[in-house]
């Protein structure tokens, strides 16, 4: 079995990519309110700061900052995934292994996490995340995607409204699928 190592930095800031098991589905945007409720519920029990977030049809990216002395983002993701899955009717296909284990077939079991190292790394991940709906061909302009913290960042003066138009923002983040 693979040894998944997580960089557990108490009070750290982390970039995450979390995928649906069936990448062809649109569950995250179709059930965006259920996802928001799941996140809200977990944040009430285990606080964390949402620096930024973008939800696409089949995956999401976000940046969180955990409270001082707390490094347990895995338990938060587990709780979010469970709460979201419980909010949906069980209509997904299940593998025999998932059926035996009593699991749902909504999420990929793992998620990708990156510890933010510095301001430049933070900015690069913010750009990558917010440009993702354009990268995947969902919209022509970053500002057109409704399920993104980009709009909040525009209001805060972090990005201009037309950011990403006519630019290539894609960054090399290593060998991983998003």
Half-sphere exposure of 176 (CA within 13 A, CB side): 14
Catalogue all structural domains in the chain, each as residue range(s) with its CATH number.
13-116 (3.30.70.1290)
Given a cut of 90, whether residue 111 has pLDDT beyond it is: yes
**Burial of 83 from C-beta contacts in 10 A (0-12 / 13-18 / 19+):** middle
The predicted-structure confidence for 8-24, as pLDDT tens digits, reads as follows: 899 999 999 999 999 88
Specify the pLDDT at position 65.
98
Residue with tokens 């979201």: 84
According to DSSP, the residues that pair with 61 across neighbouring strands are 17, 54
Quote the pLDDT of residue 91.
83
pLDDT at 99: 83
Q: How far is CA 65 from the centre of its chain?
A: 13
pLDDT, residue 171, reads 45
pLDDT higher than 70, residue 170: no
pTM: 0.89
**Averaged pLDDT, 96-109:** 87
pLDDT for 164 beyond 70: yes
Q: Which residue has the tokens 């069980």?
A: 90
User: How much is the average pLDDT of 73-78?
Assistant: 96
């Amino acid at each position: 079995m693979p040894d998944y190592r997580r960089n557990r930095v108490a009070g750290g800031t982390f970039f995450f990519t979390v995928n649906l098991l069936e990448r062809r589905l649109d569950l995250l945007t179709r059930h965006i309110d259920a996802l928001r409720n799941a996140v809200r519920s977990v944040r009430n029990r285990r606080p964390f700061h949402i620096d930024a977030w973008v939800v696409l049809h089949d995956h999401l990216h976000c940046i969180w900052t955990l409270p001082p002395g707390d490094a347990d983002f895995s338990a938060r993701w587990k709780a979010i995934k469970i709460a979201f899955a419980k909010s949906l009717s069980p209509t997904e296909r299940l593998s025999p292994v998932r059926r035996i284990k009593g699991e749902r077939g909504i999420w990929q079991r793992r998620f990708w996490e990156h510890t933010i190292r510095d301001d430049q790394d933070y900015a690069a991940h913010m750009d990558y995340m917010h440009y993702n709906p354009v990268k995947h061909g969902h919209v022509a302009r970053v500002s057109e995607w409704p399920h993104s913290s980009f709009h909040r960042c525009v209001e805060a003066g972090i990005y201009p409204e037309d950011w990403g138009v006519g630019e290539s923002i894609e960054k090399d983040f290593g060998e991983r699928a998003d």
